[in-house]
Chain A
Amino acid sequence: MIGIIDYGAGNIGNVERAFRYLNEEASVIDNGNEINNEISVLVLPGVGSFAAGMAGLEKGNLIKPIIEYIDSGKPFLGICLGLQLLFARSKESGLASGLGIFDGECLRFDSDKIRRVPQIGWNKIETMEESEVFNNLPDYYFYFVHSYFVPVITGLTVAKSDYGGQEFTAILNRDNIWAIQPHPEKSGRTGLKFLENLIGVIK
Chain B
Amino acid sequence: MLTKRLIPCLDVKDGRVVKGEKFVDLKDQGDPVEMARDYNTSGADELVFLDITATKENRETIKNLAIEVSENLFIPFTVGGGIKSIADFKDLIQAGADKVAINSAAVRDPDLITRAAKEFGSQAVVVAIDGRKKASGDGWEVLISGGSVETGLDLVEWAQRAEKLGAGEILLTSMDADGTKDGYDLEQLKAVSDVIGIPLIASGGAGSPEDLYDALTEGEADAALAASIWHQDIHPIKECKRYLLDKGLPIRPVGESD
A contact face: mostly helix, strand, loop, or mixed: mixed
**Which of A14, A139, A162, A185 has most chain B Cβ within 10 Å?**
A14
**Residues of chain B contacted by A100 (CB below 8 angstroms):** none
**Residues of chain A contacted by B72 (CB below 8 angstroms):** 21
Stretch from B18-26, B206-214, B249-257 contacting the other chain:
B249-257
A163 within 8 A of B: yes
Are A143 and B76 in contact, CB atoms less than 8 angstroms apart? yes
B55 within 8 A of A: no
CA A117 – CA B72 in complex, angstroms?
30
CA A123 – CA B75 in complex, angstroms?
14
**Residues of chain A contacted by B96 (CB below 8 angstroms):** 11, 13-14, 17
List the count of A-B residue pairs having beta carbons below 8 Å apart. Answer: 93
Partner of B94, one of A13, A139, A162, A163: A13
Chain B residue nearest to A47 (CB atoms) is B121
Are B121 and A49 in contact, CB atoms less than 8 angstroms apart? yes
**Residues of chain A contacted by B4 (CB below 8 angstroms):** 121
Are B223 and A139 in contact, CB atoms less than 8 angstroms apart? no
| Nearest CB of chain B from residue A69's CB, rounded to whole Å | 26
B contact face: mostly helix, strand, loop, or mixed: loop
Q: Interface residues of B, CB < 8 Å — how many?
A: 34
Given contacts A122-B2, A186-B74, A188-B75, are A11 and B93 in contact (CB under 8 A)? yes
A108 within 8 A of B: no
Chain B residue nearest to A80 (CB atoms) is B123
Chain B residue nearest to A186 (CB atoms) is B76
- Beyond contacts A121-B2, A162-B1, A187-B74: 13 other A-B pairs, Cβ-Cβ < 8 A, are A10-B120, A11-B93, A11-B98, A13-B70, A13-B94, A14-B98, A48-B121, A120-B168, A121-B199, A122-B252, A139-B255, A143-B75, A186-B76
Q: Which 4 A-B pairs have CB atoms at the shortest separation, nearest pair first?
A: A48-B121, A122-B252, A141-B252, A145-B123
Q: Which residues of A contact B (CB under 8 A)?
A: 10-11, 13-14, 17-18, 21, 47-49, 111, 115-124, 138-139, 141, 143-145, 162-164, 183, 185-189, 191-192
